[in-house]
Amino acid sequence: MCMCLTQWLVVFTDAKTIPNGFSVDLIHRDSPVSPLYNPLETPFDRLYNAYNRSIYRINRFRPTYSKAFQSDIVANGGEYFMQFSIGTPPVSVLGIADTGSDLTWVQCEPCEECYEQKAPLFDPTKSSTYKSVQCGTNPCNALDSSNRVCDQEMNTCKYTYSYGDRSFTKGNIALENFIVGADSTSNRSSVSFQNLVFGCGHNNGGTFDNVGSGIIGLGGGPLSLVKQLDKSINGKFSYCLQAPESTPESSKLIFGTVKESNAVSSSTPLVERDPSTYYYVTLEAVSVGDKRLPYGSFSSSSAGEKGNIIIDSGTTLTFLQSEFYNSLESALEEAIKVKRVSDPKGLLSPCFEADKDIDLPIITFHFSGGAEVKLQPRNTFAQGRIQDNMMCFTIVPSNDIAIFGNLSQMNFLVNYDLEERTVSFTPTDCSNSH
């Protein structure tokens, strides 16, 4: 199973307490303030790196893996990083945050085999609040049976994950105290949580980036951070993503209830499917300008099912079923009416000559429940990143899995309500949402 690098970074630099929750900063991995920022990369380089990460990431959602990898993770680095503290006394940790994963884990001492990381490993023997989890308990049984191992001699619960790209993590399931928003030497506000379930990884390797120390799971499964904080945040979390080049300010991740705005919000039901980690919704149609294309009628039977697309903040591009995509591409070419050109690397298509006077169409995603998400050209086209005289469509075909990626979600407040089982999209200038 191929793992991938995602496109955003989450850094808990200052957790701001709000009614019924708290908010934190999000930093894009390509932002100059990101720990992964490479000043030698051009916008052209960053776009194609993001394309390749998206292609790798889609493999982990394929149905073949749905049972065995209920709580799987993303190797090969990460789009978001969350900085938090763990243990007593607290130790600062930087972990990859992922809305497509459940189990939170960090690299731990003693380390049988670990990938290189810049920060010291967490040593559970030096924490007075570290607690092992026994076999047969609820936290242990929440793991998929294929990922769960019982140490019969010690009666301790262990986890193990391995991946098609030869990345892996193995260790103990445990309880520990977490602090987000500050480290042990900081004067910033912070939010503390006791006895959160996590994995203490003693054997980890593969393509993980040395900036991070592990994974923070923000998926919909029982062991995710979101589900463990369920009551304290009323089952709600949201984010507002902005383009990394638009402003040096960070985006926002909010745990809990967000205050209402005057903008019109579109809400669609979350669909219960296996695995529970992923956030499934139902796509009914896509419009190019005023031309509406029914999604299920053009494509395979799976496109007409409920829960036919996954919302994923860790995938850069948006993927739609290949059979439907052919009709979408034709409608797009008809609406734009300028000369088609070729991407020099042959990855993105269709591409068009970039005419300053061109009137690009609004692309509308019609989800079940009457939700309409109108995507502006900045959500659907890469302009000036490839060549000054070229723009390319950032929605691409997929042979089986459909994913609503983070470029399509930029400048929307995306709000998940896991109690009501809905996700809503509110048009928002995320650069001014601080």
- The string of DSSP codes covering 266-304 is EEEEPB--SSTTSEEE-EEEEEETTEEEEHHHHS-GGGG
Assess whether 252 and 280 both reside in one domain. Answer: no
Assess whether 43 and 172 both reside in one domain. Answer: yes
Assess whether 139 and 64 both reside in one domain. Answer: yes
Assess whether 252 and 270 both reside in one domain. Answer: no
Last residue of a domain, one of 196, 231, 256: 256
pLDDT for 10 equals 36
Last residue of a domain, one of 201, 225, 256: 256
Assess whether 344 and 315 both reside in one domain. Answer: yes
Out of 98, 102, 144, 209, the active site residue is 98
pLDDT at 414 over 70: yes
Q: How far is CA 121 from CA 107, 110, 204, 414, in A?
A: 6, 9, 12, 34
Assess if residue 261 is contained within a domain: no
Calculate the CA 234 to chain-centre distance.
21
Assess whether 305 and 423 both reside in one domain. Answer: yes
Assess whether 168 and 37 both reside in one domain. Answer: yes
Assess if residue 270 is contained within a domain: yes
Provide the domain count of the chain.
2
Q: Please give the residue that has the higher pLDDT: either 251 or 158.
A: 158
Assess if residue 326 is contained within a domain: yes
Assess whether 109 and 79 both reside in one domain. Answer: yes
Assess whether 248 and 276 both reside in one domain. Answer: no
CATH classification at residue 62: 2.40.70.10
Residue type, 64: T
255-280: b or e for each residue (b if 16 or more CB lie within 10 Å)?
bbbbeeeeeeebbbbbbebebbbbbb
pLDDT tens, residue by residue, 74-104: 344 456 677 789 999 999 888 877 788 889 9
Assess whether 288 and 165 both reside in one domain. Answer: no
> Is the CB of residue 377 less than 8 Å from the CB of residue 355?
no
pLDDT tens, residue by residue, 318-366: 999 999 999 999 999 999 988 899 888 788 889 998 876 788 999 999 9
Q: How far is CA 147 from CA 67, 136, 160, in A?
A: 11, 14, 5
Assess whether 236 and 315 both reside in one domain. Answer: no
User: Pairing between strand 91-98 and 156-162?
Assistant: unpaired
Q: Please give the residue that has the higher pLDDT: either 2 or 28.
A: 28
Range of the domain at 203: 8-256
Assess if residue 422 is contained within a domain: yes
Assess whether 153 and 21 both reside in one domain. Answer: yes
Give the side-chain half-sphere CA count within 13 A for 175: 13
* Banded model confidence at residue 36, pLDDT cuts 50, 70, 90: low
Assess if residue 2 is contained within a domain: no
The candidate with the shortest Cα–Cα distance to 14, out of 256, 190, 252, is 190
pLDDT at 303 over 80: no
Stretch among 95-99, 193-197, 201-205, 347-351 having the lowest mean pLDDT: 95-99
Is 98 a residue of the active site?
yes
Assess if residue 1 is contained within a domain: no
Name residue 393's beta-bridge partners.
381
pLDDT at 37 over 60: yes
Is 123 a residue of the active site?
no
Question: Once rounded to an integer, what is the mean pLDDT over residues 166-172?
Answer: 86
Question: Once rounded to an integer, what is the mean pLDDT over residues 278-299?
Answer: 91
pLDDT for 122 equals 96
Last residue of a domain, one of 214, 230, 256: 256
Neighbours of 20 (CB within 10 A): 12
